[in-house]
Amino acid sequence: MLRRASLALFVIALGLAVACGRQVTPNPTFKGVPGTVLLKFRTVAQANFNSYNYFVVVNTSGDGLEPYASGFQLGQFKDFSYGIVSGASFGGLNTVLPSLIQYYFPQANVPRYRVLTFNPASTQLELNTATTSSYSEFTIIFARSQLSLPLPSATTPPPPTSTPKGATPTPTPTGAATGPTPVASPTIPSQSTWCINLFTTNWPSANVVYDAMGFGANDHSFTGGCFDVNTYEDIVVNQPFENNPPTDPASQLAGFEIINTP
């Protein structure tokens, strides 16, 4: 691939790239199954799955736009296609897999969502996979085809308001609409660019976002989460210095690494 052709020069420049936030790791760290994504979700302190919900929000439309926390807090879900979430309202420490949320718009400007169950044969959640002086991480591995689902019809009822129930073995919040386990389907070629953002939240009790990639929950400058699903990618994104980070380091983002295997 052209972007990997100048690998030797890139290694020399790697230290400078870290300071800019986004870097592409020169040596693969995951020999993945084709069609999978591995995401290392990094927080400043060890993730507290009994107090927070940890979101990976994905835009699979192919338009190259990041999903920002403002759309989450306002309930508009602009540029949201899917959410991958683990935390207090989604099973806490007792969950086996994260939950999958599909966002859709059956009518103009009328956002809805449904909570689905990941396929256990092609999804994995690994807790406490690394701890360093600057971050702690957990890892999510999933088949990319699970984020290529048909849209619900306009008659699909919206989910009722749900309330958090703390850490329980149940993987979805009380009262949330559920659907079938996603079935593998091919990625649409025109939707080959995916963009992600990471949030820590107290949703569904409220739409509060404690932190997001970039300079916090209200920041719209973050652009480092896009990748081509048809290309091998090993991308590391570090959270820049925030003037007003969350007071609890378990809710403060340190960054992520995403490894895409086409």
| Average of per-residue pLDDT across 75-103 | 89
Total domain count, the chain: 1
pLDDT at 188: 61
At residue 204 the predicted structure's pLDDT band, cuts being 50, 70 and 90, is confident
Residue range(s) defining the domain that contains residue 38:
34-261
pLDDT digits (tens, 9 = 90+) for 25-67: 443 344 578 899 999 999 999 999 999 999 999 999 999 999 9
At residue 203 the predicted structure's pLDDT band, cuts being 50, 70 and 90, is confident
Does 21 have pLDDT greater than 80?
A: no
| Average of per-residue pLDDT across 192-221 | 92
pLDDT at 92: 76
Q: Is residue 168 part of a domain?
A: yes
Q: Is residue 254 part of a domain?
A: yes
DSSP track, 120-137: TTSEEEEEEEEE-SS-EE
Residue 183 CA from chain centroid, whole number: 20
Q: Is residue 4 part of a domain?
A: no
Q: Is residue 27 part of a domain?
A: no
| Three-class secondary structure of residue 152 per DSSP | coil
pLDDT digits (tens, 9 = 90+) for 104-156: 988 777 889 999 999 888 899 999 899 999 999 999 999 999 998 888 865 55
Q: What percent of the chain has pLDDT over 70?
A: 74
> From the DSSP assignment, how many helices (H) and strands (E) are in the chain?
2, 13
Q: Is residue 1 part of a domain?
A: no
Question: 139 CB contacts (<8 Å, ≥6 apart)?
Answer: 38, 39, 40, 41, 124, 125, 126, 129
Chain-wide mean pLDDT for the chain? 78
Q: pLDDT: is 57 or 262 the higher one? A: 57
Question: 114 CB contacts (<8 Å, ≥6 apart)?
Answer: 101, 102, 104, 152, 156, 159, 176, 177, 178, 179
pLDDT digits (tens, 9 = 90+) for 155-191: 555 443 333 333 333 333 333 334 444 444 445 666 8
Does 72 have pLDDT greater than 60?
A: yes
